[in-house]
A and B are shown apart, each in its own frame.
Chain A
Amino acid sequence: ETGVTQTPRHLVMGMTNKKSLKCEQHLGHNAMYWYKQSAKKPLELMFVYSLEERVENNSVPSRFSPECPNSSHLFLHLHTLQPEDSALYLCASSPQTSGSYEQFFGPGTRLTVL
């Protein structure tokens, strides 16, 4: 595997379910990101991790819970989601969190909340 991978690629869940999204980067980067991509809206940064420590949380509801056990893996735990949470969730990584480094994106998880 190379680059940034995300699993699952598609997920359908009910509002009472608990599920997790997984992201793995094989680039040796120190920073990882979760973004939400909704139709007709700009990408929204949700969480930023640097060296496994959360450095940014952009007012994301508590029903989204990130976890970064090491610099290669990032999870997004989901519980009691709402239909408006349906979106494409993108994971990205970069060498460091400085804006001078480009971010490398995974293919995303398409989430549908029923």
Chain B
Amino acid sequence: AQSVTQPDIHITVSEGASLELRCNYSYGATPYLFWYVQSPGQGLQLLLKYFSGDTLVQGIKGFEAEFKRSQSSFNLRKPSVHWSDAAEYFCAVATYNNNDMRFGAGTRLTVKP
């Protein structure tokens, strides 16, 4: 069964600094990969997704992620973090014919002024 690991429980960055959130997955075939963001008191909002093609995908709010098959990774990046980016970020994996989208445990991002 597929699984998702987010090694960092909590990350703190200064406003304006770059950001990279790590995500590793375990699955035999190429999965469908997602990054979601959850602000306090809110549901999850999709930032970006990868199905196939170009391994560097662009998302909303200036985020991007790169799929690296050799490393089984799908790390999320942003060149310059804004205070409004403080939230919890979830990586998720799914397959074409599988209802069971697996989520990582999440990484909480704190942004320092």
Contacts and interface: CB of A to CB of B under 8 A. Distances in A.
B10 to A, nearest CB: 11
Given A41-B105, A42-B102, A42-B106, A90 B96 contact: no
B83 interface: no
Contacts, number: 62
Q: Is the interface of B mostly helix, strand, loop or mixed?
A: loop
The interface size bin for chain B is 20 to 34
A60 B28 CA distance: 27
Given A4-B43, A107-B43, A100 B32 contact: yes
6 contacts: A45-B99, A50-B99, A58-B100, A97-B99, A107-B42, A108-B43
Interface of A: 4, 6, 31, 33, 40-43, 45, 48, 50, 55-56, 58, 90, 92, 97-100, 102-108
Interface of B: 4, 9, 31-32, 34, 36, 41-46, 49, 51, 90, 94-106
